[in-house]
Structure 1
């Protein structure tokens, strides 16, 4: 989710005092909000009525938002942003709905790389390892994320990486989500299997693209025009480079993407990633 350059007046949400805008996407705007009762800061994701869902699906009705809450309510991992409640607010023809989520004050990976240009190998591993762990957890629960991208990797005040927008997750093999979209440059370019729907290896591609982005400051080019990673980042460990390149392999007849899912996680750990 990107930060908007256009000033916008925050909506009035009962029980919360809204501050600055944290980001804006096609389906929702996220605000920093302080809960009046507790004084605790949250991120309030206010959905735009009538817009398509985050993965290009059904319009964002209250039921669609409640579905997001139901998805998040069954997921509990230390590297996933948690959602706590959905609240209604006035100001729209039929009222609006907002999702109350944990606030990650450390900003996004997109913002970090924009300010730094690129990250070191050690910093990259420290990002990739928890995100790979969170995705392994999601896949084990029968979900794919569908938009693993720099704007959806957030940091706590202590620098702990969190995967956000988990509510766009879809059930593995759901053919109704075969046309799901994501963030350009981080979406697996291989055709979606309309029978199987979203496959976990598509998240693997996005995770490998995330690693490439951290190390180079750019989204990876397509396979045919992509130079070997060690030519761009000479100090990248051989195992990590091989894992990222395997995850980015677009040939579905090759075991690279599935191998990459294990290898990204394992190679990152061996390269000095954080544990948990």
Structure 2
């Protein structure tokens, strides 16, 4: 079963939210998670191999640490222990190359020279990487490269076993011979990476490879020589990793790697690089602010869109229509689709009763290799969320506060807000008519502990009216603008309930 859709197969740990799988392999061993205390994104690797040991040992090599993905220690989940590592939102150089044109030489300096420096530090400490490739060079939020996936285990494995990425493996590796010069295979891989970034394909085998001067006539001669020497069949003829780095640095001034528009949309917001168009708009706004200096702006109370600052008061007699207008703002602002920032409520009571049919109570996935039949696919969770939203609309239109208990987790703050809205409407002898929430583009965003799932959707409320006890129309409200929302749903005794509204945006 695919872990990307099987929500309850995702690893969980108190204090962390599981955002998404970062691998297409099944069972998935690499996940993007977010620490709730500071909202920091990290990578969780569940496969406990010698790579994890190597990654932690790298931190003893000060010369290499700056351009090596940080390791934060171990984390226990219901699927076993995993290694917490730094998240690089820019993705790998291989993924970036798949979406854009070849690198310029100046970009190659930025991408590979620091990595070669880090590798030189490892070699000086008697270690090697073992699998340098564009797939294992990541871009940080600042657009700088960092290396991952150390294969130090290959030093202690059978000599006939080949470790590395095809296209970036030194030819002597296939002979099963030992490494005469420590790090020579890493240098071959660095040369292959440089060839790949400039050409778009890794170098062919020596007998089929065109001469460097023919393949790259436009690059400086010093780089042509660096490529030829790094890819030499004789390991003793290759430069050291330090010489590789120094040659790259001296060839041409480095330039920022152009990633804008070529990485995942979800990761784009985490990157620190300033886009030229954003900078231009910022400059324009600042200029506009200077032109408006000295002018007085008007602040409208409650304009933030939050329910704070809008208190319902009993309005006598003929002011009911005016009160209804105020309630209209409250009904939408206090709805679970309109609150901008709500604090989490109390944990759900296991004895809470649900209205949406669920699966067998106690359905939990404790082992990634054993997926029970009661596991929930993403479509099941989304369908339950849509059903809960529709049930809430019916409860708000009918004024039935008791029905809300079957929709929200017990003691939910949002449950209390909806109840207050209905109580105020009752005092005014008014009710909603035709209030309906349209949810589009619904998707799973993360999974937390205690079977909590975060969904994202585009929400729009329909036009609706206020009517009195006789059914007389007292006021009409137009349809709202679409909003992007994030909402928690919680699984309690096999049934889903609405939880906290985490955010909203236009």
Task: Provide TM-score, normalisation by structure 2.
Answer: 0.45
Shift of 1:6: 6.6
- Equivalent residue, structure 2, for 1:87: 75
Give the counterpart of 2:226 among 225, 243, 246: 243
Partner of 1:108: 92
**Partner secondary structure for residue 23 of structure 1:** coil
Q: For the Cα contact (< 8 Å) 2:117–2:241, is it kept in 1?
A: no
User: Contact 2:34–2:42 at 8 Å: present in 1 too?
Assistant: yes
The residue number in structure 2 matching 1:256 is 237
Deviations 1:112-159 (A, max 9, x none): 111113111111122111111010011111110000011100011221
Relative distance call for 1:256 and 1:69 in structure 2 (3 A) is closer
Q: Look at both structures and tell me which one has the larger radius of gyration over its CA atoms.
A: 2
**Aligned to 2:115, what secondary structure does the other structure show?**
helix
Q: 2:185 aligns with which of 183, 189, 202?
A: 202
Contact 2:120 2:242 in 1 (8 A): no
Matched, 1:153 2:153: no
Equivalence map 1:25-174=2 (5 Å): 29-47=29-47, 60=48, 64=50, 67-68=53-54, 70-76=56-62, 77-91=65-79, 96-166=80-150, 168-170=151-153, 174=155
**Cα contact 1:249–1:256 (8 A) shared by 2:** yes
Change in Cα spacing, 1:175 to 1:229, as seen in structure 2 (3 Å) is same
How far, CA to CA, are the matches of 1:164 and 1:140 in structure 2?
A: 18
The CA deviation at 1:18 is 1.0
Alpha-carbon distance between aligned partners in 1 of 2:177 and 2:219, rounded to the nearest angstrom: 36
Closer/same/farther in 2, CA of residues 217 and 195 from structure 1, 3 Å limit: closer
Instruction: After superposition, give the CA deviation of every residue in 1:50-89 in whole Å (9 maximum; x if it has no partner).
Output: xxxxxxxxxx47xx57634642442442111110111121
5+ residue gaps, structure 1, are 48-59
Secondary structure, in 3 states, of the residue corresponding to 1:142? coil
When residues 5 and 154 of structure 1 are mapped into structure 2, their CA distance, relative to the original with a 3 A threshold, is: farther
Alignment of 1:189 with 2:177, yes or no, is no
Could you say which residue in structure 1 is the equivalent of 2:374? none
Q: TM-score, normalised by structure 1?
A: 0.79
Contact 2:51 2:152 in 1 (8 A): no
In the other structure, the counterpart of 2:16 is 16
Q: Choose 5-14 or 15-24, whichever is displaced more.
A: 5-14
Match of 2:66, SS? Answer: coil
Q: In angstroms, what is the RMSD of aligned CA positions?
A: 2.9
Cα separation, partners in 2 of 1:239 and 1:8, compared to 1, 3 Å:
farther
Kindly state the Cα deviation for residue 176 of structure 1 after the two structures are TM-superposed: 3.6
3-state DSSP of counterpart to 1:130: helix
CA contact 1:24–1:30 (8 Å) conserved in 2: no
State the distance in 2 between where 1:236 and 1:28 align. 41
1:218 aligned residue: 201
TM-superposed CA distance for 1:12, in Å, is 1.8
User: CA 1:139–1:84 in 2, change beyond 3 Å: closer, same or farther?
Assistant: same
Structure 1 residue 234 displacement after superposition:
2.4
Alpha-carbon distance in structure 1 between the residues aligned to 2:55 and 2:17: 22
Change in CA separation of 1:210 and 1:28 when aligned onto 2, cut-off 3 Å:
farther
Bigger shift: 8-17 or 204-213? 8-17
Q: Is the 8 A contact 1:113 1:217 kept in 2?
A: yes
Would the aligned equivalents of 2:69 and 2:85 in 1 still touch at CA under 8 Å? yes
Distance 2:104 2:52 in 1: 40
Q: What is the CA distance between 1:233 and its match in structure 2?
A: 2.6
Residues 67/247 of structure 1: CA separation in 2 closer, same or farther (3 Å cut): same
Distance in 2, Cα, partners of 1:125 & 1:189: 25
Aligned to 1:53: none
- Secondary structure in 2 matching 1:144: coil
Contact kept in structure 1, 2:107 and 2:254, CA below 8 Å? no
